[in-house]
Amino acid sequence: MEVTVKTAKQLRLTEEEFELIKQKLGRTPNFTELCAFSGMWSEHCSYKNSIKWLKTLPREGKKMLVKAGEENAGLMDIGDGFGVVFKIESHNHPSAIEPFQGAATGVGGIHRDIFTMGARPIASLNSLRFGNLKEAKTQHLLAGVVHGIGHYGNCFGVPTVGGEIYFEQCYHTNPLVNAMSVGIVKNGETISATAKGIGNPVFFVGSATGKDGIGGASFASADITAESAEELPAVQVGDPFQEKKLLEACLEVIRTGAVVGMQDMGAAGIICSTAEMSAKGEVGMRIDLEKVPTRQKNMKAWELLLSESQERMLMVVEKGREAEVQRVFDKWDLPCSEIGEVTNDGILRFYMHGELEAEIPANDLVLGGGAPQYTREYKEPAYFEKIKAFNADSIDVPADLKAVAEQLITIPNIANKRWVYVQYDSMVGAGTATTNTPSDAAVVIAKPTNKGLALTTDCNSRYVYAEPFTGGMIAVAEAARNIVCSGGQPLGITNCLNFGNPYDPQVYYQFVHAIKGMSEACKKFDTPVTGGNVSFYNQNPDGAVYPTPTIGMVGLLDNVNAKMTMDYKAEGDLLFLVGTSRNDINSSEYLHKIRNVEFSPAPHFDLEEEATLQNKIAELIKAGVIASAHDTSEGGLFVTLLESGFNRNLGVDVKAAKGEIRKDAYWFGEAQSRVVVSVKPDKVDAFKKVIGNHPYEQLGQVTSGAIKIDGSDWGTIQSWKEKYDTAIENLLAGHESEHALSAL
Partner 1 sequence: MKFGVVVFPGSNCDRDMQDALQNDLNQEVIMLWHKDKDLSMFTKDDCIVLPGGFSYGDYLRCGAISRFSPMMQSVIEFANKGGKVLGVCNGFQVLCESHLLPGVLLRNANQQFICKNVHLIGVGADRPLKIPIAHGEGRYYADDATLDKLEANNQVIYRYCNEQGEITPQANCNGAARNIAGICNEARNVFGMMPHPERATSEALGNTDGRIILQSLIMGVNAVVTEKAALVNF
Q: Report the C-alpha gap between 153 and 238 in whole angstroms.
A: 11
Judged by CB, which is closer to partner 1: 147, or 569?
147
Residue 233 DSSP one-character state: G
Under 8 Å between Cβ of 677 and 628: yes
CB within 8 A of 622, min separation 6: which ones? none
| Residue ranges that bind partner 1, judged by CB under 8 A | 147, 150-151, 154-157, 239-242, 244-245, 248, 331-333, 422-433, 435-437, 445, 447, 560-561
Task: Let me know the angle formed at the C-alpha of 312 by 306 and 315, rounded to the nearest 5 degrees.
Answer: 100
Least separation in angstroms between residue 723's CB and partner 1 is: 19
For 375-425, the DSSP string reads: PPP----TTHHHHHT--GGGSPPPS-HHHHHHHHTTSTTTS--HHHHTTS-
Nearest partner of 413 among 165, 61, 687, judged by Cα = 165
CA 127 vs CA 179, 223, 310: distances in Å:
6, 21, 22
Q: Report the C-alpha gap between 277 and 346 in whole angstroms.
A: 11
Least separation in angstroms between residue 238's CB and partner 1 is: 12
Under 8 Å between Cβ of 103 and 236: no
Task: Let me know the angle formed at the C-alpha of 640 by 625 and 139, rounded to the nearest 5 degrees.
Answer: 140
Judged by CB, which is closer to partner 1: 120, or 604?
120
Identify whether 44 is a catalytic site residue: yes
From the CB of residue 685, how many other CB atoms can be counted at a distance below 10 Å? 11
Q: Report the C-alpha gap between 165 and 177 in whole angstroms.
A: 10
Under 8 Å between Cβ of 455 and 553: yes
Identify whether 735 is a catalytic site residue: no
Cis peptide before 448 (omega within 30 of 0): yes
Secondary structure in 3-state letters for 413-444? CCCCCHHHHCCCCCCCCCCECCCCCCCCCEEE
Helices (H), 486-596: 505-525, 589
What is the Rg, in whole angstroms, of the alpha carbon atoms belonging to the chain?
Answer: 26
Under 8 Å between Cβ of 464 and 455: no
Q: Report the C-alpha gap between 613 and 672 in whole angstroms.
A: 10
- Side-by-side strand order, sheet with 120-130: 74-79, 82-90, 176-186, 120-130, 160-167
Residues annotated as catalytic are 44, 91
